[in-house]
Amino acid sequence: MLFGILRENDQRVAITPELANKFISEGHQVCFEKGAGESAYFDDSTYTTIGAEEKSREEVLKSSNVLITISPLEENEVSQLQSGAFLFSSFQPFQDASICERYAKNNISAFSFDMIPRTTIAQSMDILSSMASISGYKAVLKATDYLPRYMPMLSTAAGTVPPSKVLIMGAGVAGLQAIATAKRLGAQVEAFDTRAAAKEEVQSLGAKFVEVEGATDDTNAGGYAVEQTEEYKKRQAELIAQKVEKADVVITTAQLRGRPAPTLITEDAVKTMKPGSVIVDLASSTGGNCAVTEDDKVVKKHGVTIIGNSNLAAEISEQASVLYSKNIQNYLKLMLTPEGLNFDFSDVIILQSCIVYKGEVVYGNEDKQKSLVPAPKAEEATEQAEA
């Protein structure tokens, strides 16, 4: 099979030279668009040295059997693909299911990395977690760029400098990495999360857990927050407002799958913060956790700097590319053979991540999903009947 690597509007590259080399060593071919890995510090020679072929973007699109990307292709580029091509990317169909229809043409199959079940067995393939961890780390460093104060406590000849107070809202993968990073920098850290299970993890990192009693907890939410009752939201807002007022840095990470991010910090709460304080909103792409966040922008409101950025992982482009590529490698182990791609839809990871198969929409189509799952073999059927 011929694997294609595109230069994207992102500092990362989906397939690093290491993974490309693995494809080639297994008997496949690799082509790449000039400069595909440049922003991640993989120059073209690192690909050509291992046997990958440089082509124009148009040639990569037309000739590749498999395209693996960070972001989905534009609709006008989908029409350039050969019939039967396989696309792997983060399509986010839960945000816009119509994207499936745009790819359901020309016998194309599409698999979405963000639909991989967030289970223990799939951890090594979980691109969302890999990128969230980097984002949480970078969020703290980004905050220090704008914060006019020290993070750690310092004793100097001129006097003692108190540590900054950091509030992390959402103790998922990104939040936990933000806690660990802020603690390493010497800040006083508090963290809030509606999930009771997060308390122990927060405390294990040396942070104080901010708890509002009566939260709705859903262990099947795949790491996302869940909608809360109005009564809980009211008590939550009151406590958060108190904590936000005292914080030097607030990092928000709470997102609802397929829905706008919950507003955790009102504009009135921003007004109470100390001048010079910083908010880093990692949920900005879905509306933001702060009422005055603007996506992909750094704004200053009421003396507070608000950074809206859901793609901070891309700023650590080399390491993010390496982890992204490693996740892909682990995922493809389920289906890639020397002869090509072989999909066993009895594997829930493959089934749930498939959104379009051979030109037919699978996402949200229960009948189509069932039709893809092979019938049990005679021996298995007998065992099931006996059980």
Q: Which of 95, 123, 204, 242 is catalytic?
A: 123
| Residue 158 within any structural domain of the chain | yes
Active-site residue flag, 11 = no
Q: Which of 10, 114, 126, 248 is catalytic?
A: 126
Q: Does residue 329 share a domain with residue 302? A: no
Q: Does residue 177 share a domain with residue 119? A: no
| Residue 159 within any structural domain of the chain | yes
| Residue 152 within any structural domain of the chain | yes
Q: Does residue 78 share a domain with residue 205? A: no
The answer to whether 297 and 308 have CB atoms below 8 angstroms apart is: yes
Active-site residue flag, 369 = no
Residue type at position 271: K
Is residue 30 predicted with pLDDT exceeding 70?
yes
Q: Which of 112, 129, 228, 353 is catalytic?
A: 129
What is the tens place of the pLDDT at every residue in 296-354? 999 999 999 999 999 999 999 999 999 999 999 999 999 999 989 999 999 999 999 99
Closest among 187, 219, 20, 214 to 118, alpha carbons compared: 219
Closest among 18, 1, 85, 44 to 339, alpha carbons compared: 1
The answer to whether 306 and 294 have CB atoms below 8 angstroms apart is: yes
Residue range of the domain that includes 100: 2-124+317-372
Domain C-terminal end among 260, 291, 310: 310
Is residue 384 predicted with pLDDT exceeding 60?
no
Q: Does residue 279 share a domain with residue 348? A: no
Q: Looking at the 3D structure of the chain, how many domains does it have?
A: 2
DSSP 290: B
Is residue 32 predicted with pLDDT exceeding 70?
yes
Structure tokens at 219: 């262990």
| Residue 382 within any structural domain of the chain | no
What is the tens place of the pLDDT at every residue in 238-295? 899 999 999 999 999 998 888 999 999 999 999 999 999 999 999 999 999 999 999 9
Q: Does residue 140 share a domain with residue 111? A: no
At residue 75, the pLDDT reads 86
The band of 45, judged by pLDDT with boundaries at 50, 70 and 90, is very high
At residue 344, the pLDDT reads 96
| Residue 11 within any structural domain of the chain | yes
Neighbours of 63 (CB within 10 A): 16
Nearest-5° Cα angle at 248, 297 to 223: 65
> What average pLDDT does this structure show over 56-75?
96
What is the tens place of the pLDDT at every residue in 76-94? 899 999 999 999 999 999 9
Active-site residue flag, 129 = yes
What is the tens place of the pLDDT at every residue in 213-226? 766 655 555 555 56
Q: Does residue 289 share a domain with residue 160? A: yes
* Mean of pLDDT over the chain: 92
Q: What is the CATH number of the domain that holds 323?
A: 3.40.50.720
At residue 227, the pLDDT reads 59
Nearest-5° Cα angle at 67, 371 to 74: 95
What is the tens place of the pLDDT at every residue in 134-177? 999 999 999 999 999 999 999 989 999 999 999 999 999 999 99
Q: Does residue 325 share a domain with residue 195? A: no
Q: Does residue 212 share a domain with residue 178? A: yes
Q: Does residue 232 share a domain with residue 151? A: yes
Is residue 100 predicted with pLDDT exceeding 60?
yes
Closest among 258, 260, 261, 215 to 236, alpha carbons compared: 215
Q: Does residue 206 share a domain with residue 141? A: yes
Q: Which of 224, 324, 331, 357 is catalytic?
A: 224
At residue 288, the pLDDT reads 96
Q: Does residue 53 share a domain with residue 87? A: yes
At residue 383, the pLDDT reads 52
pTM for the model: 0.90
The answer to whether 257 and 175 have CB atoms below 8 angstroms apart is: no
Q: Phi first, then psi: what are they for 355, rounded to 5°?
A: -110, -25
The band of 233, judged by pLDDT with boundaries at 50, 70 and 90, is confident
Active-site residue flag, 43 = no
Kindly write down the DSSP assignment for every residue of 165-193, as one continuous string: EEEEE--SHHHHHHHHHHHHTT-EEEEE-
Active-site residue flag, 123 = yes
The band of 387, judged by pLDDT with boundaries at 50, 70 and 90, is very low
Q: Does residue 161 share a domain with residue 216? A: yes
In angstroms, rounded to a whole number, what is the distance separating the alpha carbons of residues 34 and 361?
33
Q: Which of 64, 92, 103, 118 is catalytic?
A: 118
